[in-house]
Amino acid sequence: MREASGEASESVRSRVAAAWRAQIARQGKPNSELAARELERFCTADAAASALLKHAIARLGLSARAYHRVLKLGRTIADLAGAAGIGAPHVAEAIQYRRVDRQQ
């Protein structure tokens, strides 16, 4: 029998719990519940991430709603990574999930 590769469940559980605590401490609720007007305050992306997101909006024809969803997901990915801010890798991953979601 082959050993499963990847991160252990307990490690994932620990990262998810830490991300959840960070979200509650930062804004009092999970990222998924942020209103559009709260994104500017809690989901600020660095310059590279903002440029990547603007490029994706233009290239993929994303709506304002999709933009907000990608930004919130990028914030969650950054939280899972333990990052203080949203960087280009976080936005790139969020965009990738968005593209996969649209293809299904």
- Of 18-22, 73-77, 82-86, 97-101, the range with the lowest mean pLDDT is 97-101
Q: Per-residue pLDDT averaged across 68-94, rounded?
A: 97
pLDDT tens-digit series, residues 3-56: 667 889 999 999 999 999 999 999 999 999 999 999 999 999 999 999 999 999
As to burial, measured by CB atoms within 10 angstroms (0-12 exposed, 13-18 middle, 19+ buried), residue 67 is middle
Query: Would you give the distance in Å from CA 64 to the centre of its chain?
Result: 16
Query: In this predicted structure, what is the pLDDT of residue 30?
Result: 98
Checking phi first, is residue 6 left (phi over 0); if not, alpha (psi -120 to 50) or beta?
left
> pTM for the complete prediction?
0.88
Instruction: Give the angle 66-77-84 at the CA atoms, nearest 5°.
Output: 115
For 63, the token pair is: 């709506």
Residue 104 has pLDDT above 60, yes or no: no
At the topology level, CATH places domain 9-103 in Helicase, Ruva Protein; domain 3 (1.10.8)
